[in-house]
Chains A and B, each alone.
Chain A
């Protein structure tokens, strides 16, 4: 294995289809028009010396090192800013150029420390490389002149010197090593879109400045790492590199955080990760990253990881560490005795959207074939199950229609109930890039999110009241239909016309107009009409949505309403358009694809279908139950009811993430055997009898499927610290129950998935290694996968319009609970925080805060930072208030990353009518000043402490 060195072509790729041919150093080179001479030379294998150019940002032409000579032209132009043209004859190395370059380098080095041997970038420094490339041997000016290098000069403090900024937990900024190439500034602007950095001053005073000369941590910097990646010297360097040294080999793998699915190079020394660097060829992220994937992987070696299996008879006892064999035997014995006593259907399993496709597939296989029932579900139940239902109903597939590249062709983006800047940051950066090129943005969200108001981004914001999505979307449809903006030609060709007519008649009813619905939605009818016109007529319209759509009583209805809008305007079936669910976790799409839902086998085929079931029965050699099993909320209800007694949970913290914590506690307490398979003693483990230690994404092989249906490899870079990869654990548990599953490697599991699932028929590890990734469907019809779906027609045949009547949720405000609580995420934390809370990311967010409008706060005597009591019909908790007008009066907002807040104590059991996806996004609450933790929080904390005890066995005499 060696370090993967990606070629830096110096300037971005030109997308032109017109080709030009020129001669560089006697060699003929043909490149797309608009390509720089620097890039053309690199494509022919000639590295022109450069410092300020890198292909992640546009050419800048400041370092004067990449000079060239062109026959028939005067001077020595910069090759990064000079476009290739037909017939040019270019020389990259002449006596004149050599002299100029050496002179430039000499000036750079005269103001740069010569501590190369002890510098963190030693071996990975472009300045060092360039000094070597131009043959710099001597610096005639000496090092004693005016400089930025030394703290003192001639016995006095050097005003030009600045100390190292170590405020960011993951990287340092050492101004003494800066050559002011501005690559970091441009990466922050062009790639990330945050504009946190600038160059302050002029000439010799020029400095990289976070915000107005603040510290990195104190500035707007979101710690995406793009600047560090862009830096050619040791000025911006990962602290891990400073501590460990340069990596010696690297492996391409896939991030285990959100559904964007960024490809990373895990850069290693032995089995130690030195750093994670976004991979340029990653088709989801195109070389970009966010603070989580780039830096927040420290949890993988965190001291709180549990590495030994543990068991106990009751949750009142401390845990007892045992061997894998004893743990499997204990768990299997319990599950079997439950089945003997309460029936075959009394146990079940939950697959993880954080684990690999292969692991998820095995858990559902264990449940269906080993347990003999279909009581298998996944955390997608509580996030995107309505997407599955809604898009399958209207289009015929349970997945988003586009790839992320599609956004480069979008003219109008509509974001509904999602905040990509926080939850899908790399996609947000790609979208913002398109917005800066002139695309328009509509945001439908109760909060003024970071997407509404960002540097060079101004969205048309429809701040609706939580719970009124369907009314707003139907009103948009009303405007489109009644103003004659529907794309009838598209609808006639692709959709069922009579269903469209029914739908059009429904949405046209006066009760669905923006003016009539405004009283419920709170949205200004004028803005709504403008948004509808813009989406329908502004060119390629793409809808991106998140859990603010799905996590409602009418979640599935809203997804259907979105699909209706896309069909009615013809925004389906080509790049730049589509309906795009932004998936929460890394493998939500995959876990759904793999048959994690109780009613369907892998590939979204209902369990009652005889032919499909028989194909699985033949390969698994076992009879399958044709009846749908319990969904997660049904499992809880059945547990309280006494008919569900045993649960195997892989990689999900149901206690913290599922709504109405008290109800979940009651359900878990009613079970006789709860098996938690996880990295840490999570909240669910407080009620568990068996703990099976899990492995991280760095410790196993497999695949994840991101929000674009893209299947990407996860590659093992270190041995599992707990001894077994997760797929091996599931096999072990199955074996102890008498159900054998035999695989030597996850690739064999994928082969089985491919053999049984038509949409995966062409997928294999070999193909993924060859192509990097594929988007399903991948089969004989589409051997290299399907970036955009429904191109010639819908998967289901004719697109189906379905009437979407607005039904108000039963969770309503009342005098005792006058405010509406909605929940969401923050950039630095992820989901229940089990991973990110165990990293330095806590410097950005160490507690959940309650966002409240100044008006509501004043009425209650709440000041910024005060402790407040948040109470709903389900429960109460306390947290600190943050006063902000991001939320409208009447609406409050919080995150759910911290177990000591437990926002889900507050949320209720109301759920989506079709899928039982919980209504996290609307809870009627009251807020009042408080002195400290609620009784519930105190009791919870005491129970958690008690339950997490591990008995340490004394050594034998």
Chain B
């Protein structure tokens, strides 16, 4: 799936959690992506992260990193 679309969706999730503070936000974003994204979408965003992760907001980037490690 196109990286732009995945980045947009991930950042959109990030904006909802933004006001909950860093720790809650990172955990919330990671959980949301784990619960609702099909594996090929997660694979796509991980690949984008490996390629530098341009365009991902900081909390979102961190959430995807934790998700990737898990």
- Complex interface: stretch among A25-33, A90-98, A477-485, A625-633: A625-633
Residue A292 at the chain B interface, CB threshold 8 Å: no
Docked CA distance A913–B16 (Å) = 8
Cα separation A606 to B32 with both chains bound (whole Å): 12
Give the CA-CA distance A506 to B18 in the complex, in Å. 13
- Chain A residue numbers with a CB within 8 Å of B16 are 554, 556-557, 805, 807, 913-914
* Contact (A638, B1) CB under 8 Å given A803-B20, A913-B12: yes
Instruction: List chain A residues, Cβ under 8 A from B2.
Output: 637, 641
Q: How far is the CA of A627 from the CA of B18 in the complex (A)?
A: 27
Min CB gap A552→B, angstroms: 12
CB 8 Å contact bits of A551-562 with B (1 = contact, 0 = none): 001101100000
Give a binary string over B30-57; 1 marks a CB under 8 Å from any A CB, 0 the rest.
0010011111110000000000000000
Q: Is B22 an interface residue (CB 8 A)?
A: no
Q: Write out the residue numbers on chain B whose beta carbons fall within 8 Å of the beta carbon of A637.
A: 1-2, 5
Mark contacts of B1-33 with chain A using CB atoms, 8 A cut-off: 1 yes-contact digit, 0 otherwise: 110010001001101101110000000000010
CA distance A634 to B16 in the complex (A): 20
| Residue of chain B at shortest CB distance from A629 | B38
Report chain B residues within 8 Å CB of A630. Answer: 38, 40-41
Check: A375 CB closer than 8 A to any chain B CB: yes
Q: Write the nearest CB–CB distance from B50 to chain A, whole angstroms.
A: 18
User: A908-941: which have CB < 8 Å to B?
Assistant: 913-916
Residue of B nearest to A343 (CB): B40
State A553–B35 Cα separation when bound (angstroms).
19
Tell me the bound Cα distance from A374 to B35 in angstroms: 13
Q: Find out whether the CB atom of A598 lies under 8 angstroms from the CB atom of B38.
A: yes
Q: List the B side residues contacting A553 at CB < 8 Å.
A: 12
**For residues 77 through 99 of chain A, which have their beta carbon under 8 Å from a beta carbon of chain B?**
none
- A313 is an interface residue with CB less than 8 A from chain B: no
Bound together, the chains give a CA A598 to CA B39 distance in angstroms of 12
CB proximity of B58 to chain A, nearest CB, Å = 17
Q: Contacts A553-B12, A803-B19, A914-B13 given: A627-B1 contact, CB under 8 Å?
A: no
A381 to chain B, nearest CB (A): 11
Quick check: A913 and B15 within 8 Å, CB to CB?
yes
Inter-chain contact A599/B1, CB cutoff 8 Å:
no
Is residue A643 within 8 Å, beta carbon to beta carbon, of the partner chain?
yes
Contact of A913 among B5, B13, B40 (CB under 8 A): B13
The residues of A that contact B5 with a CB separation of less than 8 Å are: 637
Using C-beta atoms within 8 Å of the partner chain, give the interface range for chain B.
10 to 19
- Cβ-defined contact, A805 with B18, below 8 A: yes
Shortest Cβ gap from B30 to chain A (Å): 14
Closest residue of chain A to B39 (Cβ to Cβ) is A627
Q: Taking CB as reference atom, which chain B residue is nearest A375?
A: B38
Asked if A599 contacts B15 (CB within 8 A), the reply is no
Interface residues as binary, A781-825 with B (CB distance below 8 Å gives 1, 0 otherwise): 000000000000000000000010101000000000000000000
CA distance A805 to B19 in the complex (A): 7
Does A317 touch B at the CB level, under 8 Å? no
Cβ of A55 under 8 Å from chain B:
no
A129 is an interface residue with CB less than 8 A from chain B: no
Interface residues in A895-918 (C-beta closer than 8 Å to B): 913-916
Query: Could you tell me the distance in whole angstroms from the C-beta of B51 to the nearest C-beta in chain A?
Result: 17
* CB pair B37 A628 closer than 8 Å: yes
| Distance to closest chain B CB from A506 (angstroms) | 7
Q: Which of A506, A628, A638 has the most CB of B within 10 A?
A: A628
Shortest Cβ distance from A347 into chain B, in angstroms? 13
Residues of B within 8 A of A506 (CB): 19
Q: Which residue of B lies closest to A345 (CB)?
A: B40
- Would you give the shortest CB distance from A632 to chain B, in whole angstroms? 12
B40 CB contacts on chain A under 8 angstroms: 345, 630, 638, 643
Q: Assuming A634-B1, A638-B1, is B36 touching A628 (CB within 8 A)?
A: yes
Task: Tell me the smallest distance from the CB of B56 to a CB of chain A, in Å.
Answer: 15
Q: Which residue of B lies closest to A553 (CB)?
A: B12
Give chain A interface residues in 495-520, CB to chain B under 8 Å. 506
What separation, in Å, do the CA atoms of A334 and B45 have in the docked complex?
30
Taken together as a complex, chains A and B put the C-alpha atoms of A608 and B33 apart, in Å, by 13
Closest beta carbon of chain B to A101's beta carbon, Å: 70
A627 contacts B15, C-beta separation under 8 Å: no
Q: Cα distance A628–B13 when bound, in Å?
A: 17
List A contacts of B20 (CB < 8 A).
Answer: 803
Choose one: B9, B12, B13, B35; the contact of A606 (CB below 8 Å).
B35
Q: How far is the CB of A94 from chain B (nearest CB, A)?
A: 74
Are B36 and A599 closer than 8 Å at their CB atoms? Answer: yes
Closest CB of chain A to B36's CB: distance in Å?
Answer: 6
Q: How far is the CA of A914 from the CA of B33 in the complex (A)?
A: 9
Chain A's closest residue to B6 (CB) is A637
A687-B16 Cα distance, complex, nearest whole Å: 37
Question: Within 8 Å CB of A345, what residues of B?
Answer: 38-40
C-alpha gap A383/B38 in the complex (Å): 21
Chain A: CB-nearest residue to B42: A627
Cβ of A925 to closest chain B Cβ, rounded Å: 21
Q: Which residue of A lies closest to B14 (CB)?
A: A913
Q: Mark A588-629, 1 if CB is under 8 A from B, else 0.
A: 000000000011000000101000000000000000000111
Report the Cα distance A789→B20, complex, angstroms.
28
Cβ of A913 to closest chain B Cβ, rounded Å = 4
**Extra contacts besides A641-B1, A803-B20 (17): CB < 8 Å:** A375-B38, A554-B16, A599-B36, A606-B35, A608-B35, A628-B36, A628-B38, A630-B40, A637-B2, A638-B38, A643-B40, A805-B18, A913-B16, A914-B13, A914-B16, A915-B36, A916-B9
Q: List 15 A-B contacts (CB under 8 A).
A: A345-B38, A506-B19, A599-B36, A606-B35, A627-B38, A627-B39, A631-B38, A634-B1, A634-B41, A638-B38, A643-B1, A803-B19, A805-B19, A807-B16, A913-B9
Complex A-B, nearest 8 residue pairs according to Cβ-Cβ distance, in ascending order? A913-B12, A805-B19, A630-B38, A803-B19, A637-B1, A807-B15, A627-B39, A641-B1
